[in-house]
Amino acid sequence: MAFLLLPRRLACRSWHNHLLVSGSRYISQAAAKVDVEFDYDGPLMKTEVPGPRSQELMKQLNMIQNAEAVHFFCNYEESRGNYLVDVDGNRMLDLYSQISSVPIGYSHPALAKLIQQPQNVSTFINRPALGILPPENFVDKLRESLLSVAPKGMSQLVTMACGSCSNENAFKTIFMWYRSKERGQRGFSKEELETCMINQAPGCPDYSILSFMGAFHGRTMGCLAATHSKAIHKIDIPSFDWPIAPFPRLKYPLEEFEKDNQQEEARCLEEVEDLIVKYRKKKKTVAGIIVEPIQSEGGDNHASDDFFRKLRDIARKPYRIFNTWLGDPSKNLLLAEVINIIKREDLLNNAVHAGKVLLTGLLDLQARYPQFISRVRGRGTFCSFDTPDDSVRNKLILIARNKGVVLGGCGDKSIRFRPTLVFRDHHAHLFLNIFSDILADFK
Amino acid sequence: MAFLLLPRRLACRSWHNHLLVSGSRYISQAAAKVDVEFDYDGPLMKTEVPGPRSQELMKQLNMIQNAEAVHFFCNYEESRGNYLVDVDGNRMLDLYSQISSVPIGYSHPALAKLIQQPQNVSTFINRPALGILPPENFVDKLRESLLSVAPKGMSQLVTMACGSCSNENAFKTIFMWYRSKERGQRGFSKEELETCMINQAPGCPDYSILSFMGAFHGRTMGCLAATHSKAIHKIDIPSFDWPIAPFPRLKYPLEEFEKDNQQEEARCLEEVEDLIVKYRKKKKTVAGIIVEPIQSEGGDNHASDDFFRKLRDIARKPYRIFNTWLGDPSKNLLLAEVINIIKREDLLNNAVHAGKVLLTGLLDLQARYPQFISRVRGRGTFCSFDTPDDSVRNKLILIARNKGVVLGGCGDKSIRFRPTLVFRDHHAHLFLNIFSDILADFK
């Protein structure tokens, strides 16, 4: 177990200076050095989780809404870097990062500084209707943030407030684009203008979006029609008759099952082509295809680069977007700084490296505990493995939490890793040590 | 014209202290008094709008996205109270408030102070997945903000990030509630669990939501199926076959057309009942009804309190909700302070009073310029009137803008007022003076 024997090296990078928020404390890992680490040095558990204070707050929240999904209540002021602190003072290494949404760790000093700069206050208190009255720095901030990391050739964008809204509007854009291709040079017909007002064709054409079984694309009604990960998301909600293709179910290790996996991907692609033909005949023409690079909520299911390229080839054989907010410039301000930090600190390469340490360690645990761990897989730090069933999976998550490690489940029986981009090799080793002990004692 | 002869009285209320944001300036209307007014004393125009700087920025934005909807670019740092300042230094009295979304005016000092308080920084930089890991003050802040102004008897709530998301989830809640009534004591059937995953009944039942012609409830696919204000919102987008009832078209002045209006409302209610029967027969049972208190986007169409009560009676003859964000606690922090200020400063009564001044003035203008203004109507400051056609309407809005007044259109030919809650009598007089001059010169 190389990883277990490795000394825990504390990375003391030079990516931040002293914190500017009064009232917060940061533990310095290198008092003799110039820079201050904004991370803690390990988990510290004081109570079972949820502890008494969390339980009290859950009771209060339950009077206002169904609080069953709440894990515990958090002290975000004290949370920093890779460590989430709860209201009972428990400090946990967080490998799930708010369902994968804390890119550069908790309480990053650069973001605290950004908020407190006088010139940024207006952006947080004067939210504009972006589509009609944008702020002066709107174009600059778009260039500095999203456009600076856009895939090659993608030079245009419209901002939205959340993932569901982005997907809803992507669907609408595809429908508009497809219809305008069909319509050709002519403008909207009188019949189209009239029938659309009463939700009827031809104004509202009966187009469809092809999605994959196991996919998760959001929970608004358009997105939900393309989501097929858990019944509880969908049951009782009216939907659209849209085509659903199987997503490849790869066998691991990949190098051992190369031929099987190729056949599996070919089968899924064939099904995509068949569904496109079938839905055209049903007069529910497929206007677009939506697919996740990694099916996450559905169980961290991967496919090969070749599968995605062939899917794009299929899509090629076949975008008036507006709302009041069109996103939120205060989030864009934060995003621009997040991207600056990711670039300045080379955090993507960091994640690739820490991800390799994590994956290697998981493969080792799989070799030692094949009765609990199978199908270890991952790209970067987006690693995951299967457990025998959801009961074992859920037990492992709870035990880990009480040992100071926050993990997340996905699919029927998978555990997925979604750490921050400031997750470093030593955090991976720390986790692997703790999890190895858990598995050794697990019955 | 009483309102034109009234002296412009500057309200110097004691609702804020000195501004804490360095780099910003506030004009004091009462230098000798204790308090600082955070409003300007009137419009100040330097160029046509959009001015040269706005036009340059529009050109830049057009390279990234379709910027046709942009009116002009704003300098939010310099905007305050009821005055919106653009990037060319033009200062305009804003009666439209970012499509009705600036409750207590631009750059309110209390909000600037809130942002800069060290204990609040964490809320802005550590956004939680609220449904699983809420912050310690979550319940308290809900009580202090939304619950403190909830209608009597409404003691539960789930937060969402925007209006469309709220409506999508309201629809889902209604569908779940209706289906659970139908299902009775039994749990989900195997068939329901299986069919919902492929978007089919009985798992995805063919329920509907009844909405009104002229309604606007958002632009995501569920909301859009209940939206019927403008064809451009809907054309080319697939939709649901849901029932659409006529919304009363009242005649003004109300006291003159009492009988006609009663008959009109009765006709619409009868149509609602007929549609419910018709859609039950079509096996697209109406699970819920959605209606705006004032149909805004559709033309500021009002109905009587009696109409809404009878609609509720009809509805009585006939809620699993989750997403990653479930709103944003930083917005709730701002909202709590906004509500505090509204209460402390009695801004609702202020709006009622200023709204009366505005409505009285509009009625006077209608009497003097019946060729341009008709159907003056309003509740509080939510006033509106009709113009002869969209060309006159759009011309009036552009002329007013160049005279330093921002107005908003709605429906085919209406102008609607959506000022802030710090809109006071003198702002109404100021607008009425300017608009009276515009109408006197209008051809």
Among chain A residues, the shortest Cα distance to B77 is held by: A122
Q: Name the minimum distance, in Å, from the CA of B22 to any CA of chain A.
A: 6
pLDDT for A39 equals: 86
> Angle of helix A347-368 relative to helix A329-344, nearest 10 degrees?
80
Q: Are B120 and A106 in contact (CB under 8 A)?
A: no
CB pairs under 8 A between A and B: 348
Q: How far is CA B55 from CA A166, B281, B329, B344, B406, in A?
A: 28, 55, 36, 41, 18
DSSP B287: E
Q: Do B107 and A126 touch (CB under 8 A)?
A: yes
Q: What are the tokens at B340?
A: 């505090």
Contacts of B238 in chain A (CB under 8 A): 175, 204-208, 240
Which residue, among B101, B103, B99, B164, has the nearest Cα to B296 in the 3D structure? Answer: B99
Q: Do A239 and B204 touch (CB under 8 A)?
A: yes
Q: What are the tokens at B170?
A: 């309201």
Amino acid sitting at position A392: V
Run of H or E including A211: strand A208-212
Run of H or E including A210: strand A208-212
pLDDT for B112 equals: 92
Q: What are the tokens at A318?
A: 């076949």
Mean pLDDT of B240-244: 97
Which residue, among A16, A12, A10, A13, has the nearest Cα to A108 in the 3D structure? Answer: A16
Selected residue of A94, A125, A398 to mutate for chain B interface (largest B Cβ count, 10 A): A125
Q: Do B221 and A122 touch (CB under 8 A)?
A: no
Q: Is the pLDDT of residue B105 over 80?
A: yes
Degrees, nearest 5: CA angle B127-B132-B136: 65
Contacts of A99 in chain B (CB under 8 A): 129, 132, 324
Mean pLDDT of B93-121: 91
Selected residue of B199, B325, B334 to mutate for chain A interface (largest A Cβ count, 10 A): B199
Q: Give dist(CA A243, CA A86) in Å, integer.
A: 43
Q: Name the minimum distance, in Å, from the CA of B7 to any CA of chain A.
A: 31
Q: Are B272 and B210 in contact (CB under 8 A)?
A: yes
Q: Are A376 and A356 in contact (CB under 8 A)?
A: no
Q: What is the largest CA-CA distance in chain A?
A: 76
Q: Name the minimum distance, in Å, from the CA of B282 to any CA of chain A.
A: 15
Q: What is the mean pLDDT of each run of 10 residues along chain A (443 residues)?
A: 29 29 33 53 94 96 92 95 95 92 91 91 91 92 90 90 93 94 91 96 96 96 96 94 97 94 98 96 96 93 96 83 74 87 92 96 97 94 95 96 93 93 94 97 91
Q: What are the tokens at B320?
A: 């699993």
Mean pLDDT of B232-241: 95
Degrees, nearest 5: CA angle B127-B131-B137: 65
Q: Is the pLDDT of residue B18 over 50?
A: no
Q: Give dist(CA B116, CA B337) in Å, integer.
A: 13
- For B242, the closest of A169, A199, A218 (CB atoms) is A199
Asked, as a colleague might, if the bond just before A419 is cis with ω within 30 of 0, I would say: no
Dihedral sign from CA coordinates of A94, A97, A99, A100:
negative
Q: Name the minimum distance, in Å, from the CA of A426 to any CA of chain B.
A: 23
pLDDT for A322 equals: 67
Q: Do A219 and B323 touch (CB under 8 A)?
A: yes
Question: Residue holding tokens 């011309």?
Answer: B395
Out of A266-280, B218-232, B285-299, B324-338, pick the least confident. B324-338
Q: Where are the beta strands (DSSP E) in B313-439?
A: 374-379, 382-386, 405-406, 408-410, 414-416
Q: Where are the beta strands (DSSP E) in A260-343?
A: 286-289
Task: Please count the residues of chain A.
Answer: 443
Contacts of A334 in chain B (CB under 8 A): 124-125
Q: Are B285 and A236 in contact (CB under 8 A)?
A: no
Q: Give dist(CA A401, CA A93) in Å, integer.
A: 9
Contacts of B129 in chain A (CB under 8 A): 98-99, 101
Q: Is B239 helix (H, G, I), strand (E, B) or coil?
A: coil
Percent of chain B past pLDDT 70, that is, above it, reads 90
Instruction: Give alpha helix (H) positions in B369-389.
Output: none
Instruction: Give alpha helix (H) positions in B198-249.
Output: 221-224, 231-234
Strand-by-strand arrangement of the B208-212 sheet: B244-245, B208-212, B286-289
Q: Give dist(CA B219, CA B202) in Å, integer.
A: 27
Confidence of residue B33 (pLDDT cuts 50, 70, 90): very low
Q: What are the tokens at A269?
A: 């692609």
pLDDT for A334 equals: 87
Q: Do B196 and A234 touch (CB under 8 A)?
A: yes
Q: How many CB atoms lie within 10 A of CB A193?
A: 16
pLDDT for B24 equals: 32
pLDDT for A443 equals: 85
Q: Name the minimum distance, in Å, from the CA of A219 to any CA of chain B.
A: 7
Which residue, among A177, A160, A203, A170, has the nearest Cα to A323 in the 3D structure? Answer: A160
Contacts of A172 in chain B (CB under 8 A): 219, 221, 236-237
pTM (whole model) above 0.90: no
Selected residue of A207, A235, A240, A271 to mutate for chain B interface (largest B Cβ count, 10 A): A235
Strand partners, A106: A81
Q: Are A48 and A402 in contact (CB under 8 A)?
A: yes
Average pLDDT taken over every residue of chain B: 88
Q: Name the minimum distance, in Å, from the CA of A5 to any CA of chain B.
A: 34
Among chain A residues, the shortest Cα distance to B63 is held by: A156
- For A121, the closest of B112, B175, B205 (CB atoms) is B112
Kindly list the structural domains of chain A, giving each domain's residue range(s) and its CATH number in brackets, ordered by start: 52-108+345-441 (3.90.1150.10), 161-314 (3.40.640.10)
Q: Do A199 and B240 touch (CB under 8 A)?
A: yes
Contacts of B125 in chain A (CB under 8 A): 107-108, 111-112, 114-115, 334
Q: Are A227 and A216 in contact (CB under 8 A)?
A: yes
Selected residue of A121, A146, A148 to mutate for chain B interface (largest B Cβ count, 10 A): A121
Q: Name the minimum distance, in Å, from the CA of A351 to any CA of chain B.
A: 20
Contacts of A118 in chain B (CB under 8 A): 21-24
Q: What are the tokens at A335?
A: 């995003």
Residue B382: alpha-carbon gap to chain centroid: 9
pLDDT for B334 equals: 87
pLDDT for A37 equals: 62
Which residue, among B130, B226, B37, B434, has the nearest Cα to A198 in the 3D structure? Answer: B226
Q: Do B21 and A118 touch (CB under 8 A)?
A: yes
Q: Do B99 and A324 touch (CB under 8 A)?
A: yes
Strand partners, A210: A289
Q: Are A260 and A375 in contact (CB under 8 A)?
A: no
pLDDT for A27 equals: 32
Contacts of A327 (CB under 8 A, 6+ apart): A130, A159, A160, A161
Q: Name the minimum distance, in Å, from the CA of A232 to any CA of chain B.
A: 8
Contacts of B55 in chain A (CB under 8 A): none
Q: Give dist(CA B341, CA A338) in Å, integer.
A: 33
Contacts of B157 (CB under 8 A, 6+ apart): A64, A65, B142, B146, B147, B150
Contacts of A204 in chain B (CB under 8 A): 234-239
pLDDT for B22 equals: 30
Confidence of residue B333 (pLDDT cuts 50, 70, 90): confident
Contacts of B133 in chain A (CB under 8 A): 70-74, 84, 98
Residue B426: alpha-carbon gap to chain centroid: 23
Conformation bin of residue A66: beta by default, left when phi > 0, alpha when psi is -120 to 50: beta
Task: Please count the residues of chain B.
Answer: 443
Q: Are A84 and A94 in contact (CB under 8 A)?
A: yes
Q: What are the tokens at A216?
A: 């998760």
Q: Is B304 helix (H, G, I), strand (E, B) or coil?
A: coil
Selected residue of A94, A199, A219 to mutate for chain B interface (largest B Cβ count, 10 A): A199
